[in-house]
Amino acid sequence: MSTYQWRIDSPIGPIRIIQTNDAITALYLDAKTGHPQKEALNPTLCPESKTSLLALTVTQLDEYFQGKRKSFSIPLNPSGTPFQKKCWDMLLTIPYGQTRSYKEIAAAIGNEKACRAVGMANHRNPISILIPCHRVIGSNGALIGYGGGLPAKEYLLKLEGVL
């Protein structure tokens, strides 16, 4: 198994991107601590190397932050439970510039009462931005919960023209 990492600066702070084999497995906002999936990466086991996939990811993120890209075409392989993966797959269906409530996501995966579980799955999303958990809001339209912090969520939603 080959794992590499690359760090970039972005309008919402430093971002660390992790590639394992031929897919992106994590994208963390470094400025925030305490994210449940964020671990200290041993540079010996996970060296910094701008592979072609990491370079493509950086290019697409740059285009996104410039308002030139509305979707990503990057292979993703998040690690999580079957329920979490089902939630994350549903997040990938939320179009750029739109939001869904936790309740709508729960209903879409077949369990309308699983709003809190959907919220926890969102919180554990290891590939933020690319798997757009920032597009999930409260039923009342409130910006609640984002592992990268509410200012970053607000910035991303403004970038996409939602706010």
Burial (CB < 10 A; 0-12, 13-18, 19+), residue 82, is exposed
Strand partners, 137: 101
b/e map 37-69, b = 16+ CB within 10 Å: bbeebeeeebeeeeeebbeebbebbeebbeeee
Orientation angle between helical segments 115-123 and 82-91, nearest 10 degrees: 80
* Closest by CA position to 128, among listed 37, 56, 67, 47: 37
Catalogue the E-assigned strands of the chain. 3-8, 15-20, 23-29, 100-101, 136-137
Q: Is 133 a known active-site residue?
A: yes
Rg (CA), the chain: 15
Q: Which residues are catalytic?
A: 133
